[in-house]
């Protein structure tokens, strides 16, 4: 689409008017090449804007590369009324993409920590997860990065992260085993060192 009918705007003007991110020509061309290689005709009407849409979708899927998730842990609260027990955020849904096939990884995470003197707003735990999930990942690294970030920046007594996810590269292609789930966990501090603490946190997380 080069011009809006009856209007002097070109394509770039139209994107700007609609608040759309510009997509470099070489990125669009790469997606056209892929469409052609897959057997379709990138010039047909239905695919004409697809290169831009795909590029913008990938910018969104990979938004985490543009942020340092630790930023979400910079604000903490110390007035906790003496609360010194485990805090758990369960069933946090997320989407990521595997670095091998760029296929979706969809699942849920449980994040727990035992605070030392201060707590963080609970939404921030989900924001840290999303900051790492919105990158090309393997599940093991995603799990480790979320746990390490909380461990380093909140400096609690302990951290536990459990992730359960389905991998599109195993369901929609390749071995084609729908319903199969992968479970990963990472523990730090008292949850790693002390088996009673570990049992307690795992049970609170539902494992
Ligand atoms: N450990 C791990 N493996 C993953 C993850 N996501 C995808 N994979 C695997 O990455 C592997 C890549 O293996 P390759 O043999 O190089 O790729 P492939 O020929 O496409 O393999 P198949 O998927 O078996 O068809 C596959 O076994 C995937 O199942 C992940 O998060 N963690
Ligand atoms: Zn994969």
Is 28 a residue of the active site? no
Is 153 a residue of the active site? no
The per-residue pLDDT for 8 is: 57
User: pLDDT band for position 93 (50/70/90)?
Assistant: very high
Q: Which residue has the tokens 């989407």?
A: 95
Asked whether this chain's domains 13-61 and 77-204 adopt the same fold, the reply is: no
Between strands 104-114 and 87-98, the pairing is antiparallel
Name the nearest CA neighbour of 92 among 122, 115, 113: 122
| CB-ligand 1 contact for 144 (6 Å cutoff) | no
Between the CA of residue 194 and those of 50, 90, 185, 198, what are the distances in Å?
Answer: 53, 22, 16, 6
The per-residue pLDDT for 11 is: 80
Between the CA of residue 66 and those of 63, 91, 118, what are the distances in Å?
Answer: 6, 25, 28
Handedness of CA 74, 75, 79, 83 (dihedral sign): negative
pTM: 0.92
Please tell me the number of the ligand nearest to residue 165's CA: 1
Question: Known binder of ligand: residue 62?
Answer: no
> What topology does CATH give the domain 13-61?
GTP Cyclohydrolase I; Chain A, domain 1 (1.10.286)
Model ipTM? 0.94
Question: Known binder of ligand: residue 101?
Answer: yes
Please count the CA atoms within 13 angstroms of the CA of 142 that sit on its side-chain side: 34
Domain residue limits, the chain: 13-61, 77-204
CATH number, domain 77-204: 3.30.1130.10
Is 155 a residue of the active site? no
């Amino acid at each position: 689409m080069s011009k809006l009918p009856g209007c002097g705007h070109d394509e770039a003007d139209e994107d700007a008017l609609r608040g759309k991110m510009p997509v470099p020509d070489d990125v669009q061309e790469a997606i056209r090449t892929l469409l052609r290689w897959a057997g379709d005709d990138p010039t047909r009407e239905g695919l004409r804007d697809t290169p831009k849409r795909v590029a913008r979708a990938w910018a969104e899927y990979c938004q985490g590369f543009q942020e340092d998730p630790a930023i979400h842990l910079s604000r903490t609260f110390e007035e906790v009324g003496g609360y010194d027990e485990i805090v758990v955020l369960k069933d946090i849904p997320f989407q990521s993409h595997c670095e091998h096939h760029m296929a979706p990884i969809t699942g849920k995470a449980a994040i727990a920590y035992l605070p030392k003197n201060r707590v963080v707003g609970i939404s921030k735990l989900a924001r840290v997860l999303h900051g790492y999930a919105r990158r090309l990942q393997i599940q093991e690294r995603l799990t480790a990065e979320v746990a390490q970030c909380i461990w380093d920046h909140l400096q609690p007594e302990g951290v536990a992260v459990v992730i359960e996810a389905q991998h599109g590269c195993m369901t929609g292609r390749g071995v084609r085993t729908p319903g199969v789930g992968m479970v990963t966990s990472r523990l730090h501090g008292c949850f790693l060192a002390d088996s009673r603490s570990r049992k307690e946190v795992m049970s609170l997380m539902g494992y």
